Amino acid sequence: MLCLQLVISDICRNKSMLIVDQKRTCVMLVSFEKLDPQSKIWIYQSDKVLDQSEQDFVIKKTESFLKEWTAHGNSLQAGVQIRYDQFIIIGVNEAFNEASGCSIDKSVAYIRELGKALNTDLLERSNVAIKNHNHVSLVAFTEIKKMVTNGEITPETEIFNHAIVAKKELDSDWVLPAGKSWLKRYF
């Protein structure tokens, strides 16, 4: 692959933020903040708060994974971020190269192994994340209706909406009042 040519043409065409190291090889890891707003994201929820050493471990290991992540032999431009000490977010700029089913499978296998190393399940989807100020509480899905009935969850209670798929949605649609989320059917 003529990486330098690709970098130059991509920068000229898309004004993309590719990084080229001194050996003139492509480095596909980018700062999460610099990923295109349309970038596809995956949110992995930890069932525990990650302390700073765990977060450093996650970032270091995930950046190593992302540097090698490919789809059908094509490099993926990707980044990682941790929010609220509990959510690992991976983003990929699909305007550069699209993630494929196989590449997504590789990322899920990586996340499964990362969870084992952290002694947490990052793929557990039966817990609903609720935001209380800057604290995150996890509630079993089976408890939601009872908590609504008891007034513990109101239409104003903020919940995390993991159904979002684009980076730009993180600031507008990720944290929502329960009454404007999929939980509205309980009110």
Q: Report pTM.
A: 0.84
| Whether residue 9 has pLDDT greater than 50 | no
40 within some domain: yes
Note whether 140 and 114 are same-domain residues. Answer: no
Residue 140 — very low, low, confident or very high, per pLDDT cuts 50/70/90?
very high
Q: Mean pLDDT, the chain, as a whole number? A: 88
9 within some domain: no
Domain boundary among 74, 90, 118: 118
Note whether 38 and 108 are same-domain residues. Answer: yes
Note whether 84 and 132 are same-domain residues. Answer: no
Q: Where are the beta strands (DSSP E) in the chain?
A: 19-20, 26-27, 40-45, 70-71, 74-75, 78-83, 87-92, 127-132, 135-140, 158-160, 175-177
Into how many domains does the chain fold?
2
Digit-coded pLDDT (tens) for 21-43: 443 345 589 999 999 999 999 99
Domain boundary among 59, 91, 118: 118
Note whether 35 and 113 are same-domain residues. Answer: yes
Q: In this predicted structure, what is the pLDDT of residue 11?
A: 42
Note whether 89 and 36 are same-domain residues. Answer: yes
Instruction: Supply the DSSP symbol for 166.
Output: B
15 within some domain: no
Q: In this predicted structure, what is the pLDDT of residue 12?
A: 32
- Cα–Cα distances in Å, from 2 out to 7, 26, 68, 98, 150? 9, 9, 17, 19, 62
Digit-coded pLDDT (tens) for 41-50: 999 999 999 9
Residue 13 — very low, low, confident or very high, per pLDDT cuts 50/70/90?
very low
Domain boundary among 118, 145, 177: 118
Note whether 50 and 112 are same-domain residues. Answer: yes
Note whether 84 and 133 are same-domain residues. Answer: no
Containing structural domain, residue 70: 30-118
Q: ∠ CA(108), CA(55), CA(92), 5° rounding?
A: 40
| Span 50-57, average pLDDT | 98
